[in-house]
Chain A
């Protein structure tokens, strides 16, 4: 999802850390999601593979998938004892996700020197990955079945490549219950200060396991609305939150607002989206006053399109276990 917002919201009295929080909600959608673990001989090359694969994956509408790095893994956290990266990938539906996964692993992981690829999450739906990419091996690929450390049988494909072999797990799993499109909008005064607020929010939101922020650096500046004045446009700029359009009918921005930046969150579970939004909201408001943050709001389509509504009112409370 790209950054989405709706009709301007009436201001309310909600506050967190002295920052106004608009009493609205983020509207998010059911998506198909999966996770893979990419390893390499060095953390540097694992990261190169991961950043390449998650490139051009900001919005499922334009890129076919939304992807991001969930976690950097140490050698003791990966199946082969090498440094690794856990990547999350989301699509509208399972077939689209499968198509994107095979393309991205085929073009970005298979091609990267030294890389191996494993399933990163368990789930009910099987996506054939190594079993599809093995055809690159032109009949020379070898399947190997071995139990992992938990004793569960796993099947790998060993595909001959010019630096030895590309080892890829036969299939990965897509989870049920993944959600895409959780979001927060930060209304600030200056670009530099608001960017700082958004960066800190991204850091906190991305730290939640199983959640990614697919836009550049986790931040999107081109929030969109559904449709547009130009015929055929599926989405167009979110004029209500454009500071250069302040003062016109429909603007949602107070006069002192000069910049709006948004963060968008996808996660393997609805709870992951909520926790990530909560972390971002609390982190941003905690430093907001110092950086000229005026208000925090969220984008929605009026509540009729997405099944998941994350009310900022509910996120103001600290996460369970963090009270006091």
Chain B
């Protein structure tokens, strides 16, 4: 298990895009310490802020997090990263495979564009968790994103594929969804705003857009498959499907192939 131990608060935002088990495995300790991670002309290197201990294993632990650590695990393609603490924006953005766990909070855009693997945030997540960064075509794109705490607004915005599980989400959860599944114990106002396809499951929601129409209660085979899938990830979210469910179809302002299931 390789370890990066944060010695002090970073003097600036750090970009940890290339800091993962695969890339560190090819470097010596000294080479790793010289990796540029700063985002200003100061030229901050990995060894300037972290105590580096490498063993070429597939697991990297970042001991001591900070909200200035951006793009942690972004483009991860194999192996495991565990952050003991908080992270900044774009956690696991574009990640293709592997496992990424944050024990603290994450900033905005966690899991944006991630095509595979599992991202777990034990604390809260910022806005646009699993959502698209400005100008991007898609948010989460096949990966699994689990937020044990609360996610901010626009959770799952423009997500295209994959699964998001959140304890709670703010307004516009699943906005502009292209496809995929988002399950939240509760969401804020206007869930699924502008969604084209996709499934949103929730226990409680704020104001619903008038472009969603109730279709009633349905005992569908699909819900059994979804229940099995969710149960492997979170009992609490799977339990939502065991309750009486009301289905809303929408967003009728788009192609309206999306759905919101509300557990009673």
Contacts and interface: CB of A to CB of B under 8 A. Distances in A.
Q: Do A and B bind each other?
A: yes
Interface of A: 39, 79-82, 116, 140, 142-147, 149, 156, 158, 164-165, 167
A146 B221 contact: no
B224 interface: yes
Contacts of A164: 218-220
19 contacts: A81-B224, A81-B228, A82-B221, A116-B221, A142-B197, A142-B257, A144-B181, A144-B225, A146-B225, A149-B228, A156-B222, A164-B218, A164-B219, A164-B220, A165-B218, A165-B220, A167-B220, A167-B221, A167-B222
Contacts of B232: 149
A158 B220 CA distance: 9
Given A81-B228, A149-B228, A144 B221 contact: no
Contact of A79 (B181, B219, B220, B225): B225
B contact residues, range: 10 to 19
Interface string B212-234: 00000011111011101100100
Interface in B196-246: 197, 199, 218-222, 224-226, 228-229, 232
B225 A80 contact: yes
A39 B220 CA distance: 13
B228 A144 contact: no
B132 to A, nearest CB: 19
A80 B224 contact: yes
Contact of A144 (B199, B218, B224): B199
Given A81-B224, A81-B228, A145 B218 contact: no
B224 A82 contact: yes
B148 interface: no
Contacts of B226: 144, 146
A144 B161 contact: no
A306 B199 CA distance: 51
Contacts of A39: 221
Contacts of A146: 181, 225-226, 229
Contacts of A149: 228, 232
Contacts of B181: 144, 146
Interface in B160-218: 161, 179, 181, 197, 199, 218
A48 B218 CA distance: 23
Contacts of A81: 224, 228
A150 to B, nearest CB: 11
Contacts of A147: 229
Contacts of A158: 220, 222
Contacts of A144: 181, 199, 222, 225-226
Given A81-B228, A144-B199, A165 B257 contact: no
A267 B179 CA distance: 39
